[in-house]
């Protein structure tokens, strides 16, 4: 009995020490197992902020869950923990009557993330927004918003935006969810070395969690800030708003079904159109799908591109 008691005590001590050894930054950003009975909202539509500098990796925004319900964690550019690592986004999956959160991680390859189309290179499988070459990250400007005057490691591959299924569904499985399963290759990658979110990502997550405006109960699925150029920077010209909210510097396209603005009292109901020269073509607005495709900023300030996912 005495020996058995010593063994039980040793096991208890080892368990306590292992709990102390867990990283303190573990949270909804990283952890697996948060279970919710109500599915996450649809992903908002937004433009990607411009990349702040070389070797930054895009991490897409997502809906997290807390005591006050779902809240939005804006997408942002972050530096990888070390060269060669890529970010696998977290995702919600339906299982046993509940929605379970699977946290994101860094690794040599982008693993399974539920088939969710987060946009900007994360179209549901893998990542096509760029790649590592010789210790530096090269950006595919067909889907990444990059200022080529600042970042010179770029290339163009437009084939990756073909046959991209446009959807805003934010969870896998269950009623109306994404029907996707990990491939054999993704299952092998699941056993690779994984690195948790960086301290900058954790601070970004904590700032969003503590900001009441990001709660779904406050923004009804249209967070005022959907993405940021740097972690935790939720104000200023580099904070991108959800499509449909009035964005700074006209960064986002208006919704196709947006209501026309009210006319001033002194404006005629049917004003006479102004004559234009015969050699001037009519500037008709082109219809856009909810998710952007191609490079809406080409020829303006940076030669960067949106991704075919439009968020």
* pLDDT tens-digit series, residues 166-215: 789 999 998 899 999 999 999 999 889 999 999 999 999 999 999 999 99
CA gap 62, 276 in Å, rounded: 47
CA gap 125, 112 in Å, rounded: 7
* pLDDT tens-digit series, residues 236-245: 888 898 874 4
CA gap 166, 201 in Å, rounded: 27
Q: Which whole number is the average pLDDT over 278-301?
A: 40
Containing 100, the helix (H) or strand (E) segment is strand 98-102
* pLDDT tens-digit series, residues 98-146: 999 999 999 999 999 999 999 999 999 999 999 999 999 999 999 999 9
Its sign, for the CA torsion 207, 210, 212, 214, is positive
How high is the pLDDT of residue 216?
A: 97
- Distances in Å between the Cα of 247 and the Cα atoms of 91, 120, 223 are 27, 19, 12
Cα–chain center distance at 241:
13
Best CA proximity match to 308, nearest among 115, 89, 60, 142: 142
């Amino acid at each position: 009995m005495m020996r058995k008691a010593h063994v039980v005590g040793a096991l208890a001590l080892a368990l306590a020490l292992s709990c102390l050894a867990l990283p303190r930054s573990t949270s909804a950003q990283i952890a697996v197992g948060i279970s919710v009975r109500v599915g996450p909202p649809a992903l908002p539509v937004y433009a990607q902020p411009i990349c702040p500098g070389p070797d930054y990796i895009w991490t897409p925004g997502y809906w997290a869950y807390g005591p006050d319900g779902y809240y939005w964690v804006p997408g942002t550019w972050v530096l990888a923990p070390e060269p060669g690592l890529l970010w696998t986004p977290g995702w919600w999956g339906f299982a046993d009557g509940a929605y379970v959160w699977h946290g994101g991680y860094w690794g040599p390859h982008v693993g399974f993330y539920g088939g969710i189309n987060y946009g900007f290179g994360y179209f549901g499988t893998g990542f096509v927004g760029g790649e590592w070459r010789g210790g530096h990250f090269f950006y595919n400007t067909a889907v990444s918003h990059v200022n080529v005057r600042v970042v010179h490691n770029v290339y163009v591959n437009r084939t990756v935006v073909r046959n991209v299924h446009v959807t805003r569904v934010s969870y896998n499985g269950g009623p109306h969810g994404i029907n996707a399963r990990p491939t054999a290759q993704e299952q092998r990658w699941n056993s690779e070395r994984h690195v948790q979110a960086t301290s900058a990502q954790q601070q970004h997550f904590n700032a969003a969690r503590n900001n009441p405006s990001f709660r779904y109960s406050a923004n009804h699925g249209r967070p005022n800030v959907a993405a940021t150029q740097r972690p935790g920077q939720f104000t200023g010209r580099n904070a991108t708003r959800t499509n449909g909210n009035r964005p700074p510097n006209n960064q986002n396209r208006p919704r196709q079904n947006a209501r026309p603005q009210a006319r001033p009292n002194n404006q005629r109901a049917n004003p006479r159109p102004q004559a234009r020269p015969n050699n001037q073509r009519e500037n008709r607005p082109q219809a856009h799908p909810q998710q952007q495709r191609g490079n809406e900023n080409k020829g303006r300030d940076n030669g960067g591109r949106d991704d075919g996912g439009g968020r």
